[in-house]
Each structure stands twice: as structure tokens, then as C-alpha cells.
Amino acid sequence: MAPSLCAHCKTNRALILRPKDHSKLCRPCFLTTFETEIHHTITSTGLFTRGERIAIGASGGKDSTVLASVLKTLNERYDYGLDLILLSIDEGIKGYRDDSLETVKRNAEQYGMQLCILGYDELYGWTMDQVVEQVGKKGNCTYCGVFRRQALDRGAARLGLTHVVTGHNADDVAETVLMNLLRGDLPRLSRTTSIVTSTPSLAADPAANTHIKRSKPLKYAYEKEIVLYAHHKNLDYFSTECIYSPEAFRGSARALIKNLERVRPSAILDVVRSGEDMAKLVPDSDEGCGRVCTSSVPAAEEEQGGCGSAQGPSSGGDLATLEQALSSDDRAADAALEIEITTSSIAKRTAPLPLTVGKSRKVPKAPNNTRKQPKKQVMGQCKKCGYLSSQDICKACVLLEGLNKNRPKNHIEVGYEPEKEATSVAEAVKQLDVGAG
Amino acid sequence: MPGKQITDVVEQLCRRCTENQAVLVVRRDPLCRDCFVRYVHTKVIKHMESFRVRNADPNRQRKLLLALSLGASSVTLLHILDHLLETQTSKSGRTGFGLSVVFVETAGDASHQDRLSKVRQAYPDYDIASLPLHDVFRLVPDQESLSGLLPESATVEELSPADKLVTLFGSLTSATAREDVAATLRTRLVVEYAKSSGCEGVLWGDSTTKLAEKTLAETAKGCGFSLPWHVADGETPFGLAFNYPLRDLLKKELVAYVDVVGSPLPSLVLDSAPTQASMSSKNTTIDDLMKQYFESVEVNFPSIVSNVVRTTGKLKATLTTNDAPACDLCSMPVSDGRFGIHGWGGDQHGIADPILASSGRRLCYGCTRSIPSTTNPTNGSA
């Protein structure tokens, strides 16, 4: 078979089969097309303003590395006039994050960008390794996600800027759409499909970390094309996945997305489109009123940072938890049990589980009014740390309180190093030996 | 599966009546035969409340059309509605509604007609019509837009309805496109038949599981905008109401019902081969994938299945869509006339005139993925 020519320039040999629409392109045309599409996303949504300082949430992985590279290219090519800074969060996971941070440091040099690294230990007094030691591998992703969300905002505030871009791609968004349908979370469905999310400014205190805009310029870019772009541009990225357990729910949705992509390559984009359209159908959403309501940008406080490391069909970890919660709700509703039972089961669920919406219609009316209508989130400030939150105490502070409560009585300093601990234990054992002998 | 459950519950008493031996476990409760049958009937009749005798005008019989596919679900629905009408007659001497039945044939399968005649024998009181799918090219009033979907080379005027259907399917490039278009046309045919036979609503036999499949499948096809009309009970843009009386019953419960009730049901249901995704993704359809996915979720996580359906039911169609222009294929209103796959963020090209780009056809985003474009062959999905 004769080699086919690039569908775009019609001169070079086509080397790349675009995952998105199966068109055949040569290497330079693929790179330009990919960049032009991101440029289109940026300009058509008016994502940036001239002179804006922007933090790129950089993990050293393929998505954020490609994002940094493309933004640098476009900033120069189209003269956006942006000041780009890399912002990395050090979760404190040995054998994973320390290596990927080395990649980010190299990227900073390669792209000539300023780099700011902020650690969980510095912010919260806990590294993820310590959290896992305490809570076990199961459910630690909740901590990591909640902590990371605030960490990026705090890092942005520290850098004195108000806009963070993240490397979420079309596959991530499509996954989130399916995942939120599966767990029945409409408010979050309507929030996560938006390209820009923001924590609306409370204005009162400029020092608070509240008015941070988040956006995902790669929202419509296929994961496979990001990998191809990184490969053909010889980008330096880190590809090991997080060593702790993946989110089972996301894994289940991810497997489904990959299967859909095989059947119809456009399916990922189609799910994103459906998600955007459905966001307009969610009652009480900002999208529903044609964006003329008070806040035109969805709040993003509780959006969970999927670490995107899940793979394969899930073992069903939190599927089972949700199933249990839902079926006990159903049983309560069928039996028309009294309110004490339903409310307590709700209270119990708030921490580890996504809020479920579907509830009984048979439950007695009067004392239950607050639960009847899906609560419209009212944003306030966390009483402990001042971070924007719909609750009195923000999620991170709640989690921290739990962690600190169980911390051993003998206080461990922030500058804690496991090696020292190990040697002192060894010494203690030696002394014991001596004592015994 | 029901058989396995029966062996599991030997020696257990029914949790509802606490008298009889349980025959199977339903949502963690062991139930006896009678209580299980009552459980299924209650769930169905709850959704037929508005068609009770006391709500019926004695001078004007309301007529409903049941769409029969000869699967376990729709056959069960027919059986239960027959039972409901019989009860209504014996209690009050009249019924709350009249029932017609329609079956849409798929070409080249004769086994259907055999089952269908058995259904006619078992339920002789109803008018059970059987229509070929190509009748959609006869019954739909707006033939022009429907024929516009055929490839441009086709000389539409000379083709019979059957030939039109063959030509249309011949132009579709993937298994999933063929299945998606067939399902859409089936819905439109049922709607047109309902209208022509004076029915004010259509009863669909979709179980909870099927509705959950549909939710995710429509999402995956880019048709998320039309979900409120495909999953919820009530008025639709077709100009009549859709109702899903089996919406609270899982597929596995309906399969068990057919077994438990016994004759004549098992002989009426077409055997559906267990869903097995084809090894080649070329022959797999999006519907297959979702069916497989929820069949596995249903086994251990039934509440998640029903939660998907309940959640989708909360989506509200926006007011403006009621007078929006409709898609040529699925007939759903497209808000702002945003036809085709262009003219939104994910398009990333900025084509100025979306209508022009969709080559004169007025197709919604999702249907554009199925019908190959005549002007821009690179845009079709493989």
C-alpha cells in the first residue's frame, strides 16, 4: 500500500492517526493542529486576559507537562502576554512525588518558568505517607484530594495571583460526567463540566485565599493525543502512577470511557457535550438560567481532585459503600421509618461519601423540610482557617481534626524524619536487649 | 440469577407474610411466590394511578398504546395490565383506559411472528398490531426531512418505503450507528402509530436497568440534552405522553417474574442471548456496552442502578426548548437551532455557520454522529 499523505498539508507522509477523528496527519501538522485547537478553546472562552499571571498546577505528569509546553508555545506565538509560573504540590509520597518533582524542576528550567513547591507537611503538618500510616490505604485519596484543592489555592495566594490552570483533559471530564451520573450527584455534574470554576470572592478579606479562578484549557483534548503530543515533542515527563489506591468509582467510569472510545472515537467528546447540555437541565444550577444569575461562574469548593491514577475495572470499593447507603435509604423510605433514622444515616455518611440526592417521598414532611429541596450551597468561610466553605468548618479542617485527634500523645515535630525515628527505635531495642541480657 | 437464589433461600420464610416458604430474595428480603407477585404488581400499578376507573370519563375512553418487544419486560407489562383491566372490570363494570399493542418487526426474523400469534392467543382482548420498521417512511407526516437523510445519490421518489430503509442502513458506517438509527426510527414509528390509532400516550416496558442503560447510552451518544424526555414519565416533544410503568423494577426481577408466574409467559418471551460484547469493537454498539455494564452492576449494586434513574428524573427540560426547531431524525427540539456537531467549544475549529456546515440537514448533535455527512467525509466517526 502506498504511504498516504497528510490530510492537512498534503505534502508530507502521514505518520499519525489522530485518536480523536482518525484523520491521518504528519508530525508537524499534528503538533500544530493540537496547539491550534487549544488556542481556539482559550480564545473562544476568553480564558485569559492580557498581562495575567497564571499558575500552572504542575505534577510532572503528561497532562500538566503538555499544558505547560503548549501554553508557553501559544503565549509566544499569539502574544497572549501571560506570565506563566509552575506551581507544584508536594503531597509527601516517597518513591512517587519526590521523583516527579525532579521532573517539574527540570521543566521549570527547560521552559524558563518560575517554580513554587508547596508541601502538605508545611500546610497541614501531615505528609500523605503519614496520613496513610494513620488511616490505611483505603480512603486516603479523599484526604489527598481535599488537601490538594486547598493547597493549590493557597499556593496561588502565596504567589499573589488569582488564576490556576490544571491539566484535566477530555477523558477526565467525560469520566467525571459518567461518575456523577452513577452516584447521582447532579450539582457536581453541572459544576465539573464548566471550563472555568471559581470560588467567588468574599472581598471582605483580601488576604483570604478565596478568589481563585480555576480553568482547564485541555478540557477538550483527548488523553491519547496528549500522550502523542508529549511523545512527538520529546517532552520530559514522569509516568509512574501514584502508589496509593485509586478511586474505585472513577476506575469503573474510566473503564467504560475507554470501551466507548474503542467503539466510537468521538464518544469522549460526545460525553463531554452531553455533560454540558445536561448541566443546563439541572434545577437551580447557574447554567440553567442562561448564565445571567448572580454568579456566572460555578463554585468549585468541593470538586474532588481525581488523581486520575485509577485503571481497569474497579474492585468496587466505594461502589459497595454507596450501594449500602442507598439501599438502607430505600428501605427506610419503604418502611416509612421516622426521621431520626434517616437523618442519622445522613450524618454518618457525609464524611467519606458523596452526597446522594435521591430520597424518599414518604418521609413525614414537617421536620424534614431542609432535606426536601436540594440545598442551594451558601458559601461562607471556614471558622478555623478562613478558607471558602459551604460548611462551618471546611472539609480539610474536619479531616485534619480527625487526624490530629488520633495522633500519638508524644508530639511529633513538623520537621519529622522517619529515618531518625527508625534509628531511635533500633537504639531502644538495643537497650532492651541489654536490659534483658 | 433466580435459579441460584431459589436454592439459597431454601428453609427460609417469606419476610412479608411470615407464613410461606420463600422462593427468592428480592432486594435482600426472602419472599414467597404470592408476595413476590404482589410486589411486582404494586410497583406497576403505582405508576398507573392516573388511569384508575374513577379518573376516567365514562363517555370518552382514554386509549394507551403498549410498545411490545417480546422481551421479558414488555410481555410482563402486558400480562400485568391485562390483569389490572380485568380487576377494574370485575370491580366497577368498566375500565380506566383502553389498551392497544404494537410490535415493530425487524427484517429477516420469522420467529417473532410465531411468538406474536401466541401472544394474540393468550391475550385475545387486545388489538395487537405488527408493523415493519420501514412503515416509518409511510406513517411519519414530514417525509421530506426523513427522506433527506438518505444519501444524496438516492433517487428518493422511486424508492418504496422498504427500499428507503435498506438504502439508509446501507449508508451507515458502523454497527452502533445502525443500531442507534434503528432505535430512533422504532420510537418514531410507535409514536406515529399511537397518534393514528387515537392513543393519548405510549406505555414502554423499560425496567429500571434499561432506563439506566439508556441514560448512560444517550449520554455517550451526545444526546444528553434529550434525556428528560427519554427517561421521565410525562409529555414529550412528540405531542403525546410517555410512561414507564416498570421503572421501579430491575430487569432481573422481571425475568424472575416470568419464571415464577409460569405459563403462558415463558413461551411468549423471545429468548435473549446473554449479552456478550463482540470481540471486535467494529461490531459492538454503545447500547451493548451499557447493557453489559449495568447487567454486571445490577447483580451486586441494585440501588446504584435505581439511583441513576432517579437522578436523571430530576433533570428539567428548559422552557425554551418547547418551541425550538426539531432534529430531522429523532425529532427532539434542538435549542437555539444548534444543529450538527459544530458551533460549540469542543469543536475547536470555529466554523462560522453551523447550519451550513451540517449540509442542509437539520440533525441534533447526537444524530449527526450516526448519519454520515455528505459534504465533509473526514468528520464522520469511524
pLDDT tens digits for A128-140?
Answer: 888 888 887 777 7
| A46 vs A361: which has the higher pLDDT | A46
pLDDT above 50: residue A354: no
**Residue ranges of chain B with pLDDT lower than 70?**
1-10, 107-109, 272-281, 318-322, 350-360, 374-382
State the count of interchain CB pairs (< 8 A) between A and B.
Answer: 173
- DSSP state for residue B381 in the 8-state scheme: -
Asked if pLDDT for residue A248 goes beyond 50, the answer is yes
As a CATH number, domain A45-316 is 3.40.50.620
Contact A263 B176 (CB under 8 A): yes
Phi, psi of A221 (to 5 degrees): -95, 130
Would you say residue A412 has pLDDT above 70?
Answer: no
pLDDT at residue number B348: 72
| Contact flag A44-B311 (C-beta cutoff 8 Å) | no
pLDDT at position B40: 96
Q: Which of residues 355-374 of A touch B (CB under 8 A)?
A: 356-358
What pLDDT score does A366 carry?
A: 42
Quickly state the pLDDT bin for A359 (edges 50, 70, 90): very low
Chain A residues near residue B28 by CB distance under 8 angstroms? 327
Q: What is the pLDDT of residues B147-195, one digit of tens each?
A: 888 887 777 778 899 999 999 999 998 999 999 999 999 999 999 999 9
* Domain definitions of chain A by residue range: 45-316
pLDDT tier, A348 (very low <50, low <70, confident <90, very high otherwise): very low
Mean pLDDT over the full length of chain A: 76
Mutation to test the A interface, candidates B31, B211, B215, B216, most A Cβ within 10 Å: B216
**Alpha carbon of A141: minimum distance to chain B alpha carbons (Å):** 22
* Band (A288; pLDDT cuts 50, 70, 90): very low
Q: Is B174 on the interface with A (CB under 8 A)?
A: yes
Show the DSSP H helices in A335-417 as ranges: 339-349, 369-372, 395-405
pLDDT at res. A149: 78
C-alpha Rg value of chain B to the nearest Å: 22
Q: Where are the domains of chain B?
A: 44-317, 322-382
Within 8 A of B315 by CB-CB distance, chain A residues are 186, 278, 281-283
Please identify among residues 405-434 of chain A the ones whose CB lies closer than 8 Å to any CB of chain B: none
Where do we find the cell 469520566?
A175
Q: What residues contact residue A123 under an 8 Å CB cut-off, 6+ apart? A: A147, A150, A151, A154
Q: Rounded to whole angstroms, how far apart are CA atoms B247 and B233?
A: 9
Which tens digit of pLDDT belongs to each residue from B312-366? 988 887 655 567 788 999 988 887 777 888 878 777 776 555 454 445 688 999 9
Portion of chain A with pLDDT greater than 70, in percent: 70
Look up the CATH superfamily of B44-317: HUPs (3.40.50.620)
Give me the pLDDT at residue B276, please: 61
Query: A386 φ, ψ to 5°?
Result: 85, 0
Partnered with residue A164 across adjacent β-strands are: A55, A214
Q: What is the CA radius of gyration of chain A?
A: 24
- pLDDT of B338 reads 77
More confident residue, A5 or A306: A5
Q: A218-232 b/e with 16+ CB inside 10 Å = b?
A: bbbbbbbbbbbbbee
Q: B42, B287, B311: which to substitute to probe chain A, counting the most A Cβ within 10 Å?
A: B311
A80 Cα distance to chain centroid: 26
Q: What letter would DSSP give residue B346?
A: G
Highest mean pLDDT among A14-28, A142-156, B199-213, B350-364: B199-213
Could you give the CA distance from residue A249 to residue A156 in angstroms, rounded to a whole number? 30
CA distance B184 to B221: 12
Whether pLDDT at A305 is above 60: no
pLDDT band at A353 (very low <50, low <70, confident <90, very high): very low
Q: Which carries the bigger pLDDT value, residue A377 or residue B43?
A: B43
CB–CB of A278 and B315 under 8 A? yes
Closest CB to A178: pick one of B216, B350, B366.
B216
- The torsion of the CA quartet B24, B25, B30, B36, rounded to 10 degrees, works out to -60
Please tell me the predicted confidence (pLDDT) of residue A351.
41
C-alpha to C-alpha distance for A397 and A403, rounded to whole angstroms = 10
Closest alpha carbon within chain B to A178: B216
CB contact under 8 A, B346 and A273: yes
| Closest among A45, A47, A65, A48 to A56, alpha carbons compared | A65
Peptide bond into B264 cis (omega under 30): yes
Q: Is the pLDDT of residue A20 over 50?
A: yes
- Residue of B178, B248, B303 for testing the chain A interface, max A β-carbons within 10 Å: B303
Residue A315: the pLDDT is 38
Q: Which chain B residues have a beta carbon less than 8 Å from that of A277?
A: 224-225, 365
Mean pLDDT of A214-229: 95
ipTM, 2 dp:
0.90
CB atoms within 10 A of CB A47: 19
- In chain B, residues with a C-beta closer than 8 Å to the C-beta of A184 are 307-308, 310-311
